[in-house]
Structure 1
């Protein structure tokens, strides 16, 4: 468990494609937000959830931080970077609430790759996943400059501050995210497959 890393779960999106309330959706009998918190707490004792409204996550045993100062995921990242600074942590790992199969080596590999850069971004299948990324807390100082340009993407901020990319080639894709009812059905199938084929001691969700 790292003593210099804060973790923030991004849970402020509307999730309109799946009818809203995405963090509250259950996978294998467990809410997505609870699964994300369980994952995060394996790596840090400094964990929070970024939300627009507390009702997005319901009752959870976690600190909630508002992400409404900037629209989109950038608001969650900004809230997270400020949270990391307040907690005296030099690094921030952000993960989304809707990726239930994140790799167990996520933090270790991002930590090992960040080097002198301000950000390390996970990637798979040829695509970057900026909502799964590790940031130096000092990157918060560059956010006002970036916001002033009118841009809001996490990729754009990462390019501004300096990033490195870390690729995973696992199958199935550990960065599979749930955006629709069909995605949820596929996630349920994956869970059932893992539970039937892997030892009970496995760390896979």
Structure 2
């Protein structure tokens, strides 16, 4: 494994299913969602940055935060492009802000399962979780070209980049995300 990997927490979504509330800042057990993700990532990485498109002052109290460098709302791929461009390390890991129980060995397993690929992503054995991924910075240019063509589908980009899936069949619950107010309420019980 390389000595330095940057982690990017994707907090830039519109959160339409959350009533437009900034999902990363919603409290779970007294902490914002993104902080739960950061706490699980911190031991696995050298640096954490955030991709956020609003509430930057609040996010920047804890970590460097950057808005999308690609114009218009282009979804998670825009946040991934920004993270690749802002990272100072060759390898960059990405996770969404709404997966507070992500595996504590996510980065090591993605690294060991990459088989020389420049892109790897998590799969729970039933579903792909492409926003939990590890990418080499050389992916940035083809990703920017993909976005410039108007494409927005993450799995389509990963197919073109010959990304490898890394399986976490024994812990599918680690990938449960919080998308709606009822999801959040269920986790606070």
**1:150-183 Cα deviation digits (max 9, x unpaired):** 2112212211111110121235611000011221
Q: What's the counterpart of residue 80 of structure 1?
A: 83
* TM-score, length basis structure 1: 0.83
Give the 3-state SS of the residue equivalent to 1:41 in structure 2: helix
Q: Is 1:134 matched up with 2:137?
A: no
- Measured in 1, the distance between the counterparts of 2:36 and 2:77 equals 23
Aligned residues: 186
The answer to whether the 8 Å contact 2:37/2:101 transfers is no
* TM-score, length basis structure 2: 0.89
Matches within 5 A, 1:44-193: 44-55=45-56, 58=59, 60-70=61-71, 71-84=74-87, 87=88, 89-171=89-171, 173-189=173-189
Give the 3-state SS of the residue equivalent to 2:36 in structure 1: helix
- Deviation beyond 6 Å, 4+ runs, structure 1: none
- Measured in 1, the distance between the counterparts of 2:41 and 2:129 equals 17
Q: CA deviation at 1:11?
A: 0.1
Matches within 5 A, 1:18-37: 18-19=18-19, 20-37=21-38
Decide whether aligned partners of structure 1 residues 40 and 171 sit closer, same or farther in structure 2, where only a CA change above 3 A counts.
closer
Q: Could you say which structure has the larger radius of gyration?
A: 1
Q: CA deviation at 1:56?
A: 8.5
The answer to whether the 8 Å contact 2:117/2:163 transfers is yes
The answer to whether the 8 Å contact 1:52/1:68 transfers is no
Q: Which ranges in structure 2 are unaligned for 5 or more consecutive residues?
A: none
Between stretches 53-62 and 135-144, larger displacement belongs to: 53-62
Between stretches 93-102 and 16-25, larger displacement belongs to: 16-25
- Measured in 1, the distance between the counterparts of 2:188 and 2:9 equals 22
Q: What's the counterpart of residue 6 of structure 2?
A: 6
Decide whether aligned partners of structure 1 residues 113 and 58 sit closer, same or farther in structure 2, where only a CA change above 3 A counts.
closer
